[in-house]
Amino acid sequence: MSEARNGKDRILEIGGISVPDLAKACGTPLFVYDEKELDQQMSDYKTYFRSDQFETEVIYASKAFTCKALLQMLDQNGLSLDVVSGGELYMAKQAGFPMERIYFHGNNKTDEEIKLALDLGCKTIVLDSLMECERVVTLADSKGCSTEVMIRINPGITAHTHKYIITGNLDSKFGVMFHDEETILKMLDLVKNSKFTTFTGFHAHIGSQIFDLRAYDAVIERLIKYIKKLNRDHKIEIECLDFGGGFGVRYTEEDQPNEVQEVCSRIIKKCEEELLKYDLHLKKIMIEPGRSIVAEAGNTIYQVGFMKKTPNKEYLFVDGGMTDNIRVALYDARYDCDLAEKMDREKEYRYTVAGKCCESGDILIEDAMLPKAETGDLLIVYGTGAYGYSMANNYNRISRPAVVFVKDGKARIVIKRESYSDQLRLEANEEVII
């Protein structure tokens, strides 16, 4: 991001294009991704997540944000992909993403989704429960389709983050509890007795927006200790371990994320130490960053509409809101913002930035300090690149924004703005034949 001058005002630019030009050409609200930043994050993960003792794999969690253009960039950078639904898998297929680098997660895959994964030749199905294991084995055997499987383990480690995005705690809906050895052994047995499924290892993901890397140390310690036990007691060999994603990002100045290099080298080093301690060898270790690849590269541009004073607040309404960013209402998420054409004016006004939905909780930023705002100003909210567009919705029949990638003074629309007629494309009046 940089700035340019227009008379006395400094104007924000992204990827060499001014925010007003982007807004004029593509409309608002608009998700704008800086392609160089995306590329940098992807290549940093590839560069730093390396060891000479085992293979490594960086698997992007596509739930954070996905579109064909992003999937193609990920492919070019040699990253793999985590999908959690038939829809995400289908999208990857349509984008030409190599199936031999796709991991299929999720706690309640339908038969249809499992069959799709088997038919498409998706590399690995990550099993979340004993029941799912039975289904996958049955379907793989009946179709005669081979697949690798991993088991998602709940390592029983609570990360310090919002309670809705913790996943590794006791009673989490995800995975099999690490001390439920009976279930794990049953799953391993089922897989072993199938001609078409091959067990490769364990997966764990303890939550999101995690800053304290000691949480990952704990997961690594626990999983490696556990595979030693399985190896010793049951002669079970494990090829790979996947430690999930969740690495924290900077939404506001208060957030102090770790550099990609720091995250990667810490995980690699900890793994090497633990393996040495137990005299174990692994073929491969994996991580699954989502947010930390796309969050900070993405921003949303809104236009300011009406404004209103109440006894204690001054509202500034924008042309989007919880339909393009539900994270504030869901997790009390915090963001920073600016008026993109008034970058060097004093920020002496306190506003509540709110959206246009019929919902009191449709607030984007409380206590935003900004220069004096007027209708028509362009407001940029920073760091909305993860779980913004991917959780966007049509509440109040508000259309989803367009998404644009910018680089070296060039912009390309990668997802078109939804029209009213797009919203009605599934309307029907068909008689149901029962």
Strands 298-309 and 314-318: antiparallel
Give the residue among 230, 164, 151, 255 at the shortest CA–CA distance from 198.
Answer: 151
Q: Which residue is nearest to ligand LLP (CB)?
A: 290
Applying CB under 6 A, does 371 fall inside the site for ligand LLP?
Answer: no
358 flagged as catalytic: yes
- Indicate the residue among 67 and 343 with the shorter CB distance to ligand LLP: 67
Shortest distance (Å) from residue 298 CB to ligand LLP: 13
335, 381 contact by CB (below 8 A):
yes
d(CA 168, CA 206): 4
d(CA 38, CA 15): 11
Shortest distance (Å) from residue 126 CB to ligand LLP: 8
d(CA 116, CA 91): 12
- Per-residue contact track with ligand LLP, 48 to 77, x per CB under 6 A? -------------x-xx-------------
- Indicate the residue among 31 and 247 with the shorter CB distance to ligand LLP: 247
d(CA 416, CA 428): 24
Question: Residue-wise over 157-171: b if at least 16 C-beta within 10 A, else e?
Answer: bbbebeeebbbbbee
Would you state the structure tokens that stand for residue 434, as one six-digit string? 């029962």
Stretch that binds ligand LLP, among 14-22, 44-52, 176-184, 283-291 (CB under 6 A): 283-291
- Indicate the residue among 289 and 320 with the shorter CB distance to ligand LLP: 289
Stretch that binds ligand LLP, among 2-10, 35-43, 282-290, 419-427 (CB under 6 A): 282-290
Q: How many chain residues interact with ligand LLP (CB under 6 A)?
A: 21
Applying CB under 6 A, does 175 fall inside the site for ligand LLP?
Answer: no
Q: Beta-carbon neighbour count of residue 139 at 10 Å?
A: 19
Applying CB under 6 A, does 246 fall inside the site for ligand LLP?
Answer: yes
The set of catalytic residues is 358
Q: Using CB under 6 A as the criterion, which residues of the chain lie in contact with ligand LLP when the complex forms?
A: 61, 63-64, 82, 105, 165, 205, 208, 244-247, 288-292, 327, 331, 386-387
